[in-house]
Structure 1
């Protein structure tokens, strides 16, 4: 059966994945292990996702989306295409990535407005997740990236299980204005309008976590004045 997507669409998706991955690494917002995963909607196909195939994230060489698929560097080893029913349509996911596909799918089903999802173990953001403490939205860069509310915590459940997927979905449903969710005892999950937006927010959340922990010794982060609610500081990247 011929798949409903072509080389140009897969190439464009891989370019989006590459941009998101490399932006996080350039900002040193990844854990040393490189554990994480990233997905984007396949251009032109709202029901198909392109997801990194490998166990760990590492910086990816840039590719030109105009180059035909056979010329892309081991694209079938890099990228898995999966539909919103969880069926793998192309590629082979590592055991680790296969276990989290449902998590990504659950976010897209819960938030049909988003086009990218990134999961990391960014160290300082994960500190909040381990403590089960919401990250306060007191850092202006969060507002710039559209995160105008505190980043909530989804309760822990074994990774890849229906319980974990449900906990994440319920947290997004309970906090419809959030893009980011801290995964209790685990890490960080960020949805975005694009891979660039999601990656930028991962970086902003990690910066906010670092700065908020540092501010504790000085009396703790101070909330914005009430008039911030009347301002739109969001930039579109």
Structure 2
């Protein structure tokens, strides 16, 4: 086995207090997704959207990697082949744990984007609609986050990596959001073995050859131990 591609979703960071869409409490429960996670919501009320992501950014800055993030960083460091993490998460907990090969397909809270000229720069802790772009000076600052209705980042490269994988692993994902929900079928079609590590079965559980259920910090750590022992 030479290449492992790992998809991570909100479930891997849930133990850190960074909520998922489906949490009954927390930031997402206080807002309609259409209001804070779509281009239309941003156009209608940019201050609301900035307030929402400012709160998420503050939350993420206070979080530390858990045992699952640390286990994946160890896997990358000690595995004899290649390990790539493709994450749907916008926090930086994989990097904080030591992972280096990480693709943020949905963007990152640590980034700012100019809606006028597409310039990107490190986001301050607090952003506002009238913040000028450092490149074009237009007041068109938005979070560098992929919202619903927008194309995730790096998709061509991700598909190429999936099709070259010997093993595809999905961790803490619901299987409800495309294109990520299709990754397991695509990887399997090109010959990869497939494993789901999750708190409970995802919507795409029937597409996986193997599955383990439990807290991410437990099941991911145990799985990494198995892989490294082989």
* Same fold per superposition (TM over 0.5): no
TM-score with structure 2 length normalisation?
0.31
TM value normalised by structure 1? 0.31
